[in-house]
């Protein structure tokens, strides 16, 4: 049994990490309360975290830079994995599924998946949770959602008909409104995009199935009906368990006639009642079918490929990686998640289309990649689109040609990207991307002190009062301020913006004289050169 102070530490860590990942405060509090914690205590944890964040922001930034720099100096994937989820063989480590934190079993409060990685568990997928009271909770863990009898949908709550159109009240308070909106529910499709002749699983969660006779999914290409499939709630059609209000069935896209490129089909849900009346939910969801191309739309909200600008991901040097295709898919999604979590771009994601160039996973050169994209991505346009080549062996982000960049998949984005429109940024996208190696370089550069080079002064002992000193000062982080002192008396002070040669005629005293040159750059990095000059003056 964990001691209370240990539980407190774990909960504070959970709050900190999940806020940083984009979870809402409401979602975090909801999880804590559902796991038996007092709501007031949950509010205290959130408020305390905010206070500590404000007080310690400088130290947190420095710590993050240090962590990234340590990773950047250990880029060999055979030696170190960047996920932070490495499992030591034979140890009692795994995933604490209640908070999706990699830890040991004795530190987990709740269910523990021994030897498992959180990143690979369905319970740790994040989506929109519609709980049994009818609230729509964004960025919610799948396991916590379904474990509390909620419905988890792998998309943003704002894109779900139910969450958009029904007010945010408790289920009891709005039960009449739900019943008056016949057919209200949530539609999902897996996979959101796949090749012709593949199978798509279509599901629809119906909030009120009173007097429902049947539920049908109609697949339409514009106004043309392509096919229809009956959905069942009997537990035998990939629909969950029997009588759980979740209707489902598989649909084979071989029903579509031959075509070239992409075909987006909207899914209408038709609910038929025992009195023969019907409720039609238009465009409840959609799917994309591909033929004779190798570009898979990443987001099934994909549309207007000839008009919207696109980001097309291609993999290079993934072929030698175990589960290379899966890693490429994850890296592509993570890249988009980071970019469109930036406030300025969060609301314009729908203005773009995103694709993943599936095969091959390695190329002889960049020209071959671009040729492949032009051949197998029907909507590609070199004027409006950006090709992002993900290459784990690339340390930096480099511009290969106009509209083509190559980058390490582990990226951050500079803050100044918010000063421009993203489509304009395509022309110089690498200038906004920070890879681990580049970050390490910047940390080293930031902390590199000025350099002082002193010309030899000849013999160590002088028989005269006058001794000329010649030196050069340079730096990485200008401006650099330097001073020259003799026996603690400042003789010279200067500020420079480039490498500078300087000299000074020293007036020595009998005995040992201490000459000191000090330099400080704009980042307060210090350098100094000390000389001991012996003088015997008669």
In this predicted structure, what is the pLDDT of residue 172?
36
Of residues 179 and 284, more confidence is placed in 284
State which of 260, 292, 324 marks the end of a domain.
292
Neighbours of 49 (CB within 10 A): 18
In a domain, 144, yes or no: no
pTM above 0.85, yes or no: no
Is the pLDDT at 70 greater than 60? The verdict is no
Q: In this structure, are 337 and 394 located in the same domain?
A: yes
Is the pLDDT at 457 greater than 70? The verdict is no
DSSP structure string for 410-441: S-EE-GGGGGS-HHHHGGGGGGGEE-HHHHHH
In this predicted structure, what is the pLDDT of residue 82?
27
Of residues 56 and 90, more confidence is placed in 56
Mean pLDDT of the chain: 79
Q: In this structure, are 330 and 409 located in the same domain?
A: yes
Distance between CA atoms of residues 184 and 245, nearest Å: 12
Q: Write the burial class of residue 380 (CB in 10 Å: 0-12 exposed, 13-18 middle, 19+ buried).
A: buried
pLDDT in tens, 403-452: 999 999 999 988 888 877 888 888 889 999 999 999 888 888 999 999 99
The average pLDDT across 486-499 equals: 95
In a domain, 91, yes or no: no
Neighbours of 34 (CB within 10 A): 15
In a domain, 175, yes or no: no
Say how many Å lie between the first and final Cα of the chain, rounded. 84
Is the pLDDT at 458 greater than 60? The verdict is no
Q: In this structure, are 311 and 425 located in the same domain?
A: yes
State which of 292, 320, 348 marks the end of a domain.
292
The average pLDDT across 127-148 equals: 75
pLDDT in tens, 463-475: 888 888 999 999 9
In a domain, 330, yes or no: yes
Q: In this structure, are 388 and 256 located in the same domain?
A: no
Of residues 305 and 65, more confidence is placed in 305
Secondary structure letter of residue 195 according to DSSP: E
The average pLDDT across 164-186 equals: 51
Distance between CA atoms of residues 132 and 150, nearest Å: 5
Supply 195's token pair.
């090749």
pLDDT in tens, 350-361: 889 899 988 889
State which of 439, 460, 480 marks the end of a domain.
439
- Domain interval for residue 397: 295-439
Distance between CA atoms of residues 406 and 516, nearest Å: 48
Supply 269's token pair.
């849900």
- CATH code: domain of residue 504: 2.60.40.10
Q: In this structure, are 317 and 435 located in the same domain?
A: yes
In a domain, 492, yes or no: yes
Of residues 157 and 448, more confidence is placed in 448
Q: In this structure, are 502 and 422 located in the same domain?
A: no
The average pLDDT across 223-235 equals: 92
Supply 122's token pair.
């369905």
Is the pLDDT at 85 greater than 60? The verdict is no
In a domain, 508, yes or no: yes
Q: Cα 267 to chain center, whole Å?
A: 30
Q: Per the structure, how many domains does the chain have?
A: 3
* Phi, psi of 368, deg, nearest 5: -65, -35
Q: Which stretch of 260-264, 373-377, 526-530 has the lowest confidence by average pLDDT?
A: 260-264
pLDDT band at 479 (very low <50, low <70, confident <90, very high): very high
Q: In this structure, are 421 and 347 located in the same domain?
A: yes
Q: In this structure, are 357 and 429 located in the same domain?
A: yes
Secondary structure letter of residue 280 according to DSSP: E
pLDDT band at 377 (very low <50, low <70, confident <90, very high): confident
Q: In this structure, are 286 and 304 located in the same domain?
A: no
């Amino acid at each position: 049994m964990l001691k209370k102070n240990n539980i407190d530490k774990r909960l504070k860590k959970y709050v900190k990490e999940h806020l940083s990942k984009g979870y809402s405060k409401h979602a975090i509090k909801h999880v804590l309360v559902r796991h038996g914690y007092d709501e007031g205590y949950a509010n205290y944890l959130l408020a305390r975290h905010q206070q500590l964040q404000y007080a310690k922001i400088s130290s947190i930034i420095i710590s993050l830079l240090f962590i990234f720099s340590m990773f950047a100096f250990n880029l060999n994937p055979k030696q170190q994995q960047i996920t932070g989820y490495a499992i030591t063989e034979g140890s009692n480590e795994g995933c604490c599924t209640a908070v999706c934190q990699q830890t040991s079993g004795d530190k987990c409060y709740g269910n523990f998946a021994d030897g498992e990685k959180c990143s690979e568990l369905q319970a740790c997928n994040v989506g929109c949770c519609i709980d049994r009271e009818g609230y729509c909770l964004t960025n919610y863990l799948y396991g916590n959602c379904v474990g509390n009898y909620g419905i988890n949908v792998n998309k943003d709550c704002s894109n779900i008909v139910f969450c958009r159109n029904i007010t945010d009240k408790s289920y009891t308070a709005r039960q009449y409104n739900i019943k008056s909106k016949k057919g209200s529910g949530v539609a999902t499709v897996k996979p959101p995009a796949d090749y012709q002749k593949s199978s798509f699983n279509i599901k629809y969660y119906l909030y009120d199935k009173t007097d429902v006779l049947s539920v049908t999914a109609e697949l339409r290409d514009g106004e043309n009906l392509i096919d229809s499939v009956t959905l069942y709630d009997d537990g035998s059609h990939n629909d969950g368990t029997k009588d759980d209000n979740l209707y489902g069935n598989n649909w084979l896209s071989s029903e579509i006639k031959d075509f070239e490129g992409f075909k987006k089909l909207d899914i209408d849900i038709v609910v038929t009642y025992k009195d023969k009346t019907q409720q039609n939910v238009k465009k409840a969801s959609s799917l994309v079918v591909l033929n004779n191309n190798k570009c898979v739309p990443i987001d099934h909200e994909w549309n207007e490929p000839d008009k919207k600008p696109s980001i097309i991901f291609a993999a290079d040097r993934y072929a030698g990686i175990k589960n290379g295709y899966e890693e490429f898919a994850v890296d592509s999604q993570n890249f988009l998640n980071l970019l469109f979590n930036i406030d300025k771009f969060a609301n314009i994601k729908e203005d773009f289309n995103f694709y993943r160039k599936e095969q091959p996973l390695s190329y002889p050169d960049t020209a071959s990649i671009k040729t492949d994209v032009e051949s197998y991505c029907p909507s590609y346009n070199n004027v409006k689109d950006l090709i992002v080549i993900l290459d784990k062996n690339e340390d930096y982000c480099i511009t290969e040609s106009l509209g083509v960049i190559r980058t390490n998949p582990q990226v951050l984005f500079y803050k100044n990207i918010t000063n421009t429109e993203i489509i304009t940024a395509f022309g110089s996208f690498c200038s906004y991307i920070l890879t681990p190696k580049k970050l390490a370089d910047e940390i080293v550069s930031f902390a590199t002190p000025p350099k002082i080079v002193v010309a030899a002064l000849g013999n160590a002992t002088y028989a005269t009062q006058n001794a000329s000193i010649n030196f050069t000062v340079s730096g990485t982080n200008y401006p650099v301020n330097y001073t020259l002192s003799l026996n603690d008396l400042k003789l010279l002070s200067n500020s420079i913006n480039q490498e500078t040669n300087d000299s000074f005629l020293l007036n020595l005293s009998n005995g040992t004289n201490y000459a000191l040159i000090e330099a400080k750059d704009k980042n307060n990095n210090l350098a100094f050169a000390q000389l001991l000059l012996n003088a015997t003056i008669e």
